[in-house]
Each structure stands twice: as C-alpha cells, then as structure tokens.
Structure 1
Amino acid sequence: MTTTTSTSAQNFTTRADTFAAILDGVGDRWDAPTPCDDWTVRDIVVHAIETEREFLERQELDTGTAPDTTDPAAAWRRHAAAVAEVLGRDGVAEREYDGYFGRTTIAATMADFYGWDLVVHGSDIARATGQPWEVSEEEADVLHAAADGWGDALYSEGVCAEAVDVPDDASASDRLLARLGRDPRWAPAA
C-alpha cells in the first residue's frame, strides 16, 4: 500500500471512529429529527451504511452480510470494521477506477467522499442529540478542499443545500456547515 493510499485508508478509519463516538452519545434518541430534512438520527446511520456498502459492491468488493440496524451504533461498528477489513486486503485500497470526479482509488473515495459524509452527518447527529461538535481549522480546510473538487456537483439534488450566510468571524465549524447548506444555529425543536 502506498503512503498516500494508506493515509487515505487511515483517514476513513479515523472519521469512522469519530462517527462511532458520536453514535455512542445518542442514548435513546435514534428517532430525533436532524438538520437533514425528514431524516432521523437512525435514518442517517442507515444511509451511511447503505451508501458505503453500495459503493463497495459496485467495485465488486464483498463486505459480508449487512448489519442489523436495530441497534444503529452496533451496526455502524460492525460495518466500519468490515470496511476496514476490505481496505486492508492486498491491493484493494490502491485499486484505481474511473469515479464521478475522475480517476481515483478505492481508499481515496472512502476517505474523501464517504469519510467526508461521515464528518458532515456526524455534525447532524451531534446537533440533533445535544452533543458538542466541531472541526479544527485544519480539518475544515481539508473538507473545504474536497468540496472544492466537486464544483457545482456539491449543490446537486441530494448532496448539499445552497450555502447559508454566517458572520465573517464564524468558527471553522460554523463556516463549514454554512457552506454545506446547514444553518449552524439549528437546534432541535424544544
């Protein structure tokens, strides 16, 4: 595995672990509404699992039996372990293919697209369940750079809503959320 590929695989694993830690703080609030219109916390976890599995299956990579999402946190951990195992198979992480945004690797897609999705949806879940959430300036820069690479596709149907205005002195986390069409002031209804 090349250094860039192993870094990409590790970036996905790190983001998957952070997502798992947020899920550990959900408690019994799996049906709580989120900043994603009409999606509950449970819906987001199911979405993350299903979209990652679908991508890997399109690449003819088997992640085993789909996890039972009755316990979303446990299902996520089983899924993330299966993805890590797939990425660790000889030659898989560095395997190239023609993606939506050009030639890339399996590991880069898992880190830069699906891992990116985990960061954003991690914020949705944290905010829906009253947990703190923030990214560093460095992580925000990395996520903005990935979004830059998607151009207008970032605001395609089902990806992100149009950007939201925030004050110039907004935090890195708030600027990132606003760029992705999420109101940083969103909170669950009382």
Structure 2
Amino acid sequence: MTVNPISDRYRRRAGAFERKIAAVEPGQWSAQSPCEAWTARDVVAHIVAMHAAMLRPVHRDLGPAPSVGDDPLAAFLAARADVQEVLDSRELAEAECDTPTGRMSVERQIDEVLSDDLVLHGWDLARATGQHDAMDPEDVARLWSSALAIPAELMQKLRTPGAFGPGIEVYGPEVAVPADAPLQDRLLGLLGRDPR
C-alpha cells in the first residue's frame, strides 16, 4: 500500500464517489443535478472525462470500458484504475506538465483538479439522487483553504464560462450564504452552488 498522501487522498475520495454511483437507482440517472446543465449521469460523465484529461500529460488514454451511458459505475471504475496506476508510479506521478494555473507535477494536478472534483461533484450526485450529501469535514476544510487562496483574477476567470475552452465552466457565480452557516455551505456558495 502506498504512503503517498496525494495517492491516498485520491483513493479515499474516489471510493466515496464510487459508493455514490453504486447507490443511484436506475430511474435516477436523468435526475437534475445542482449543475444547471447536467443530469446525474452527466455528472459521472464529466468525472470520467476529467480522468481522461489527467492522463494526457503522461501520454495515456482511458483503457477499454463501457460508456457512462451504458454503465456509469463500470466506466468510473475503469477510469479510476487508470488514474490510480499513474499516481502509484513515482515516474509518472512526478512528471511535469503545463496546466492553466502553471507548471506542476502530474500528481499535483490530479490532486488539485480531479481529486477536488470528486468531492464537489460527489455532492452534486448525492443531491441529484437523494443521497446523504455531507462531505468529509477534512475535505471541506482543505477545499475551503484552497479556494480562499485563489487570486481574485484567477477566480474571475474560473467563473467565466468558456475561459478555459468551449463549453467549460469551472465555477458559477458566488451564491450568498450566511456568514455563520456551516463551512460546507459556505464552501458550496463560494464555488457557485446553492447549498439549500
């Protein structure tokens, strides 16, 4: 078992996302998610697509798997295995890559983009399908700290639809949340989701 904190964090968060997919009832896949343009199935499709994006810097593609349309859980499990393999290889994980926020290691990009996405979109999937939607408090605190550290100019770009490519929207406009609301609600509001 690895002792790499990034790999371990991804493994834990991917496991939580997997359990949410497994709990979706067949008739819930077309349910509206908190992301205006996405159904529950679209949330999983986005996550699988982000796994593919994280593999490109090491010149890899997703391995053969059913489509999200045919089997969302199997599609995610295959993508998860592909990314975990990269994280568990020091050579691949430590490779440098260019990202919209600068040059960094492949594992750092996975940690800051994909791993965080699993937490936020796990909430989206839970909300869309009536599951328990509390995030891990450690993840909430970590994402809150990271979000507050984003420079204002970059945050504005992250909130601008299409700034990182056609059809790409990272965060929506901030949603006002009471200052004394739970940290999870404040995080969701900051990142453009209505916790209510």
TM-score (norm 1): 0.86
Equivalent residue pairs, number: 182
Contact 1:101 1:150 in 2 (8 A): no
For residue 108 of structure 1, report the CA deviation from its aligned partner. Answer: 1.3
1:105 aligns with 2:105: yes
Q: Bigger relative contact order, structure 1 or 2, given CA contacts below 8 A and separation 6+?
A: 1
Task: Report matched runs for 1:68-107 at 5 Å.
Answer: 68-69=67-68, 70-107=70-107
Contact 2:97 2:106 in 1 (8 A): yes
2:25 alignment partner AA: G
For residue 129 of structure 1, report the CA deviation from its aligned partner. Answer: 0.8
Contact 2:54 2:106 in 1 (8 A): no
Contact 1:96 1:103 in 2 (8 A): yes
Paired with 2:73 and 2:136, the residues of 1 have a C-alpha distance of 25
| Alignment match, 1:172 | 183
Paired with 2:65 and 2:50, the residues of 1 have a C-alpha distance of 12
Contact 1:35 1:128 in 2 (8 A): yes
Unaligned runs of 5+ in 1: 186-190
1:39 aligns with 2:43: no
Bigger mean CA deviation after superposition, 113-122 or 127-136: 127-136
1:49 alignment partner AA: V
Question: Matched residue of 1:92: which SS?
Answer: helix
Identity level (%): 37
How much is the aligned-residue C-alpha RMSD, in angstroms?
2.0
Paired with 1:51 and 1:140, the residues of 2 have a C-alpha distance of 21
For residue 169 of structure 1, report the CA deviation from its aligned partner. Answer: 2.3
Task: Report matched runs for 1:20-169 at 5 Å.
Answer: 20-28=18-26, 29-69=28-68, 70-151=70-151, 152=155, 153-157=157-161, 158-169=169-180
For residue 91 of structure 1, report the CA deviation from its aligned partner. Answer: 0.7
Question: Matched residue of 1:35: which SS?
Answer: coil
For residue 135 of structure 1, report the CA deviation from its aligned partner. Answer: 2.6
